[in-house]
Structure 1
Amino acid sequence: MMTNLFSVFDPSTSMGLPLNWLSSLLLLMFVPSMFWLIPSRLHFVWSSIMSSLHVEFKTLLNSNSMGSTLMFISLFIFIIFNNFLGLFPYIFTSTSHLSMTLALSFPMWISFMCYGWMNHTQHMFAHLVPQGTPSILMPFMVCIETISNLIRPGTLAVRLAANMIAGHLLLTLLGNQGPNSSSLILTLLISTQIMLLMLESAVAVIQAYVFAILSTLYSSETS
């Protein structure tokens, strides 16, 4: 039962090639239309989203340059697009796999740490001991802050993957009960799945925003 349940997240296909990972590249088919249909409604939507995100991220980064927030805006758009794609039938949810989420979080964390320790060494050491910490607790705080920094890429990746896979598993469990249910139960199942899809849509946006915001906060701590 569990093997069949989790098989919906299997990245392999019957052809022997992981072609369903190509769903992450579908964004390239939708975004270019804003460049040759200007001023299209899609262009206005993306512009408003990017402007709002730029205002949010520049406050955390203490920078007015659009280039400083471009990486985090692109990260948000990439994650939210893949999260929404997973809500459609027969489309592979790449953000539900740690191989994808770790590939997003780990390189960024490594680059932040390398930049911070190479260019702002004293500032990084100061972060290991919060202001006002008693002298007797300083060695413990250094250990705690070090562990906290080391698990950051893992927590980012696991949070995104776990939230994506949890809703999909619940929808799959409810969907498997439909064929053997009565009309009343089937109506309740469909209503519940519609509400869960609405919740999953909100989760898709929230998780993409949380991932981008936390990445921005980790970047701001090294500058």
Structure 2
Amino acid sequence: MTMNLFSQFDPPKTLGIPLVLIAMLMPLLLLTPTDRPISNRTTTLQAWISLKFTKQLLTPLNKPGHHWALPLTMVMYYLVTTNLLGLLPYTFTPTTQLSLNMGLAIPLWLSTVLLGLRTQPTTALAHLLPPGTPMMLIPALIIIETISTLIRPVALGVRLTANLTAGHLLITLISATTLELTTMTPLIPITTTALLLLLTGLEIAVAMIQAYVFTLLLSLYLQENT
């Protein structure tokens, strides 16, 4: 039973084509450029949302960090689109795979660290030792701060994977329960179906929030190194 539940996270194939490949390319297909001189309502709404998000994201950053506006916005849009597409029937969510999330988290985190070591090495290394530390605690604190810095990309990837996986498992469990109870009293399937709809709405919110949290944490790491 446990293996059957987690088998939904195995990348399926259709006509020999892995659905994970289609799901990863879908955000790029949705963002098709237009040559219209006047924007329609959809593009205007997208531009307004992008502007609000970019302002919110770059407010705490220093001026050198503003050059990261485009990469951070692209990461946000990619994660939101991929997470939401995974909620559609007969699709696959690539962000439930830890390998993909770590492949996003490690290079982006490493870029912020290397940027800090290049532009302000003294300040970047000073984060490893809080000011006013007693002499006897300096070696231990340096080791602890180094481990906490190295574990940041793992926390980014695991957080995104765990939250999306938990929501998908709950939806699977309630869906299976609803199908099993259809032969019983009609009140029970109606109740479980209503619960399933509410959980789906919650999962939509979680998909957007987790994408925002992923990008926000990256901006905070960037703030420490600019």
> TM-score, normalization: structure 2?
0.90
CA distance in 2, matches of 1:106, 1:218: 12
- 1:6 aligns to what? 6
- Give 1:21 deviation, angstroms: 2.5
- 2:111 aligns to what? 111
| 2:73 is the alignment partner of 1:96 | no
Q: How many equivalent residue pairs?
A: 223
Please give the secondary structure, in 1, of the residue aligned with 2:179: coil
CA distance in 2, matches of 1:14, 1:80: 24
- 2:46 aligns to what? 46
**Cα deviations by residue, 1:82-116 (Å, 9 ceiling, x for unpaired):** 11111111110011111211111111122222222
- Give 1:65 deviation, angstroms: 8.1
Q: RMSD across aligned C-alpha pairs, in angstroms? A: 2.0
- Give 1:12 deviation, angstroms: 3.6
| 2:160 is the alignment partner of 1:160 | yes
- Give 1:36 deviation, angstroms: 4.1
Residue pair 2:65, 2:222 contacting (<8 A) in 1 also = no
- 1:179 aligns to what? 179
Change (3 A) 1:185 1:75: same
- 2:201 aligns to what? 198
- 1:189 aligns to what? 192
Once the two structures are superposed, the pairs formed by residues 120-131 of structure 1 within 5 Å of their partners are: 120-131=120-131
Change (3 A) 1:19 1:206: closer
Identity of aligned residues (%): 38
CA distance in 1, matches of 2:216, 2:35: 27
Uncovered stretches (5+) of structure 2, i.e. residues with no partner: none
| 2:216 is the alignment partner of 1:216 | no
Matched residue type, 1:78? Y
- Give 1:120 deviation, angstroms: 2.0
Please give the secondary structure, in 2, of the residue aligned with 1:61: coil
- Give 1:23 deviation, angstroms: 1.1
Matched residue type, 1:54? T
Please give the secondary structure, in 1, of the residue aligned with 2:132: coil
Residue pair 1:58, 1:64 contacting (<8 A) in 2 also = no
Residue pair 1:129, 1:138 contacting (<8 A) in 2 also = yes
Matched residue type, 1:199? L
| 2:31 is the alignment partner of 1:31 | yes
Q: Please, which moves more after superposition, 70-79 or 1-10? A: 1-10
> TM-score, normalization: structure 1?
0.92
Uncovered stretches (5+) of structure 1, i.e. residues with no partner: none
- Give 1:63 deviation, angstroms: 2.4
